[in-house]
Structure formats: structure tokens, C-alpha cells
Amino acid sequence: MKKNKVLVFLLLILSISLLLTGCSQAPAKKKVSIAALKLTSSAPIFIGIEKGFFKDEGIELEVQWFDAAQPIAVATASNKVDIGATGITASLFNMVAGGQQLSLVADKGREQKGYSSSAVVVTTELWEQGARNITDLKGKRIGITQAGSTFHYMIGRLLEANGLTLNDVQIVPLAKVSALMAALQSKQVDAVILNEPNIGKVVSAGYGKVLVSVGDVMDYQTSAIFFSPDFVKDKDTAIRFLKGYIKATRYYYDAVLARKEGNPPGGGNYDEVINIIAKYTGAPAADIKAGLPYIDRDGKLLVDDIQTQITWYVNHQMIDKPIVSSQIVNTALWEEAVRQVK
């Protein structure tokens, strides 16, 4: 009888020990806030939420949806959100030039040949009049979101690649992407810069035509994941978030971008990923499929391009004080996350 009691007691101790061991291995839950746009390039965030990749790392992600990049930069720099997920703008560089400690840590979408992310879209009327090249925009009204935005940068670089400058066109800042689309439809502007899935929406609606895809002209780190001054100091939580994010970028890449032996992209999870993106962006699946932006499989930032952007903005007097890319790029946390992801 005593032997049975001892055996039961030992089994009870063993069960409690195993339970405590399991609990110690589970990551502590941490609330993390992220500011983002409902764009196709936000796919890894959507996927990470839907597939539970952030949850698996103990991250309870609170998403705040914005309409433009600059307010996201402001919210992140002021620690109102932990993470910003949007375009790399002059505003972002100016904050760092002013002494704030924003950190670009991972890829969230880039322009690369063969992949649609951003494009110059002209009115159907201008297209029917024969516009086929950037040079046909000389003297025209071109809508962008804000001065110093990624859209401003892209149209400036495209003009310069074709022997023109920003002074050869009329730039019309309209604040929001929705306003750009409305202005193009009502012909208040002749052309706009748009990103996916909005390009597909405009083309499908019939009031716009793609003049040129940005990725066909230049490689460009359009947007990034960046951390607030406070969040970058919380290394454990930051690395756990990035581990979930890397799992999501791999899922996205393998499902819709992977090209094997010359075959078109589209892995076993293609339709699932398309439907996830459609759910969050509100765009039809057909529009999503027409423009899937390139994102590095591991979420690796195109570091060298950051200095190229800074130099351009400085040359166009959009950055108050020159900085170098090392003041804003911080890939150490991403590198550690990549090492830990199996």
C-alpha cells in the first residue's frame, strides 16, 4: 500500500515537473503595436496574423491602419506605436537627422524587375492620345501623396532616367492614395504613382493605364519594417516579432514568388495567400494576382539602396541635414532572428 502511495506521489511530482518545464519553454505573451497600410506589400503582416506566426512567438499584434506613410513615421518616432510598416520617406530621414532613433530593420517590399509593386498610371484619355513613355508627361500634372514621399522619389527618379527633372512636370500632393485615385478618375491630374492593389483596381475600373512599372527601371527598397526608439531596446520582444515576420515572408515568397526551372510563381499555398491579402486589402483576388510585389524571402533589407535614397533627397533639398545610412539602418536584430528561425 505504501509502495502505491509512493508511486502515485512520484508520478504527481513528475507531472508537475513536466508541466512547469513546458510552461517555461512557452514565450511570455507581449502586446506589440504596429502601424501599417492596407497594401499588398503588407502581406507578411496579414499572413503572420492569419497563420499564427506572431502568436507562436508570444506576440499579440495590435494593428493600427493608416492612410499614408508620413503619419506612420511620426507615430513610430514618438513611440505611439512600437513598429512602423510603410514607405521609406524624406520625413523618416529628417527625423533621424533631428536626433530621433528610428531603426530600419527589415524588408517590406521593394521594386525589382519582373515584379509589380508601384507604377505610373495615366488617365485612359491620355493613353488613347498616344502617351507611352515618361517623356510624354512633360508639362503634365502628376499626383503624389506628399512632398518627400516614396511616390515623390519614384517619379523624380523616373523623370531623371529619361532626361527630365521634377521641374518639367507639375507635382500635385493629394495626401491620400484614395484621393490620388479619385483625382485620376475625375481627370484633375494626368497621371499618378500608385501601388498594388490600387493599380489593379484602377485598371480594372477602366479609367487608368499603366505607363511604366517602377521595378522595370530601378531596384528600390520602397518600404520597410522600422522600430520605435523604445521598442528597439526591447531586444527579446523585437527578435520574437522578427522571427514571426520572417516565417511570414518565407510563406509569402514560397507561395507566390518562388520561380523554379523557369516556371511561373505560385506554390501550393498560392490561393490561400491571395485570399488572405484580399481579406485585408478589400481588393478582388484577380487584382491581387495581377500585382504581387517582391519581398525578400527572409525579409532582408536592401541596405545599399538606403544611402542612394538619402543622397537623392539631400540633392533635392528634402532632408534638412545630411545623414548616412548607418544612422538609421539596424539589421543586428534581424540577423539574430534569422539565426533562430528553423
Q: Which amino acid is it at 48?
A: G
pLDDT value at 234 more than 70: yes
- Helix, strand, or coil here: 211? strand
pLDDT band, residue 8 (cuts 50/70/90): very low
Higher pLDDT, 28 or 17: 28
Task: Tell me the per-residue pLDDT of 103-127, one tens digit each, with 9 for 90 and over.
Answer: 999 999 999 888 868 999 999 999 9
| 8 A C-beta contact, residue 13 and residue 216 | no
C-alpha cell at 170: 507639375
pLDDT of residue 22: 47
Going by their DSSP bridges, the two strands 223-227 and 83-87 should be labelled as antiparallel
Task: Tell me the per-residue pLDDT of 56-65, one tens digit each, with 9 for 90 and over.
Answer: 999 999 999 9
Residue closest to 172 by CA, chosen among 209, 135, 147:
147
Query: First CA to last CA across the chain, in angstroms?
Result: 49
- Same fold flag, 30-110+221-340 and 118-216: yes
Task: Tell me the per-residue pLDDT of 122-140, one tens digit each, with 9 for 90 and over.
Answer: 999 999 999 999 999 999 9
- Helix, strand, or coil here: 119? strand
The CATH number given to 30-110+221-340 is 3.40.190.10
Q: Could you tell me the residue ranges of all domains in the chain?
A: 30-110+221-340, 118-216
Residue 216: phi and psi, rounded to 5, are -75, -10
pLDDT band, residue 263 (cuts 50/70/90): low
Whole-structure pTM value: 0.83
For the residues 84-95, what does the mean pLDDT come to?
A: 92
For the residues 297-325, what does the mean pLDDT come to?
A: 94
* CA distances in angstroms from 265 to 162, 257, 287, listed in the order given: 31, 5, 16
Name the CATH architecture for the domain at 118-216. 3-Layer(aba) Sandwich (3.40)
C-alpha cell at 176: 491620400
Looking at the DSSP bridge assignments, the partners of residue 32 are: 61
Return d(Cα 262, Cα 117) in angstroms, integer. Answer: 21
Q: What per-residue string of b and e applies to 246-266 under the rule 16 or more CB within 10 Å gives b?
A: bbbbbbbbbbbbeeeeeeebb
C-alpha cell at 210: 499603366
| 8 A C-beta contact, residue 158 and residue 217 | yes
